Amino acid sequence: MAQRDKSAVSVASLPSSAPPAPPSGERWGSAIGNLGELGANVESLQKLLARKAVFVDDDVFSKASLAADQARTIKVLDQRVQSLERELDAAISAAARARTEKRQAEAAQRAAEQRAQDVTKELENTSRVFQLHMEELRTKQQEIAKRDSDIKVLEAIIQTLSSKDDGGSSE
């Protein structure tokens, strides 16, 4: 392996903390685990480089650069995955809220329809009662008219009889 005098490998530093907890979806669990392993590998390479200056040939340098680029890409993709998961969780929450609001609106609509039916029945019942009262009033009015007519006939009879009595007693 040939050594190179001019260039030393530099690797982007990754946070030394443990990888983030696996997201709620199981499908990303293995990807997160791979990222954690890769991060540990990069950290150990970084520690090795910090202790000793390593000179490598072009092939090793390009592989190390590629690994560093891939680590950065993986970190960016991991952040994107986490961002998408947050968006997905927000969308799921919004859908749940929408379903709840829909159920509440449907319940309110059913209650309003029931109230309209109740009011309609009450109005129909009131209308029937009103019709019965009107029939009863007409019957009473006819009775009163008949009795009034009977009273007039009786008054006429009384008047006729009283005029005969007045005429017959004066003769």
Confidence band of 34 (pLDDT split at 50, 70, 90): confident
Of 6, 9, 3, the residue nearest 47 (C-alpha): 9
Q: Which tens digit of pLDDT belongs to each residue from 81-107?
A: 999 999 999 999 999 999 999 999 999
One-letter identity of residue 17: S
Say which residues have a Cβ less than 8 Å from residue 46's Cβ, sequence separation at least 6.
Answer: 11, 13, 14
**pLDDT score for 23:** 46
Is the pLDDT at 27 greater than 70? The verdict is no
Calculate the alpha carbon distances from 91 to 22, 28, 77, 81 in Å: 20, 18, 21, 15
What's the whole-number average pLDDT of the chain?
Answer: 82
What is the rounded distance in angstroms from the CA atom of residue 168 to the CA atom of residue 165?
Answer: 5
Concatenating the DSSP letter of every residue in the chain gives ----SS-B--------SPPPPPPS-GGGHHHHHHHHHHHHHHHHHHHHHHHS--B--HHHHHHHHHHHHHHHHHHHHHHHHHHHHHHHHHHHHHHHHHHHHHHHHHHHHHHHHHHHHHHHHHHHHHHHHHHHHHHHHHHHHHHHHHHHHHHHHHHHHHHHHHHHHHHHH--
Name the percent of the chain lying above pLDDT 90: 53
Say which residues have a Cβ less than 8 Å from residue 3's Cβ, sequence separation at least 6.
Answer: 55, 56, 57
Whole-prediction pTM: 0.42
